[in-house]
Amino acid sequence: MIELYMLFPVFEYNAEFHNVVQVNHQDYTTCNVPVTPLAAYSTGNDSITIKRYGHYFFACGAPGHCKAGQKVDIRVSHSHPKAHSPAPSPSPSSSAAMAPATRHTNRASLPSESLVAQIVLLLVMFTALANFVV
């Protein structure tokens, strides 16, 4: 599951073999793509604007593709997550002299960048599966 604040996902895939459908939670969980989904996209380069908070479920509507993992669960949140405070540094041992600690920030752990990385990763995985599963 991806948690976001606003989203404009772009699904890129081979339209000859794949599509993107928006489904409800139950259909997403069971990979039962209904004849009439909530929305359907079939251009191979679909940009979707999500304007409201909530949970959104997308899958490939081609037979067997959802069960092969071509699906994504997106949650658009109302508020930003609380920033994580850094863990306290260990207290120095009395028997060992230690150099002053240098504080490094792991940029991947920052909420906004981590979120973007997760989105990109999931969309890349969806696209890769769309090109692989025929």
Q: Give a yes or no: residue 62 inside a domain.
A: yes
- For the chain, the domain total comes to 1
Q: Which pair of structure tokens corresponds to residue 56? A: 């959104």
**Which ranges in 3-110 belong to alpha helices (H)?**
25-30
Give the mean pLDDT of the chain: 72
Q: Give a yes or no: residue 7 inside a domain.
A: yes
Domain of 48 in residue numbering reads as 2-80+113-132
For the four alpha carbons of 72, 107, 47 and 43, in that order, the dihedral sign comes to negative
Q: Name which of 1, 3, 129, 2 is nearest 67 in CA terms.
A: 129
* Amino acid letter, residue 120: V
The CATH number of whichever domain residue 17 belongs to comes to 2.60.40.420
Q: Give a yes or no: residue 91 inside a domain.
A: no
* Amino acid letter, residue 32: N
Q: Give a yes or no: residue 10 inside a domain.
A: yes
Q: Give a yes or no: residue 23 inside a domain.
A: yes
Q: Give a yes or no: residue 101 inside a domain.
A: no
End-to-end CA distance of the chain: 25
The pLDDT tens digits of the residues spanning 31-48 come to: 999 999 999 999 999 998
Question: Which of residues 6 and 113 earns the better pLDDT score?
Answer: 6
pTM of the entire structure? 0.58
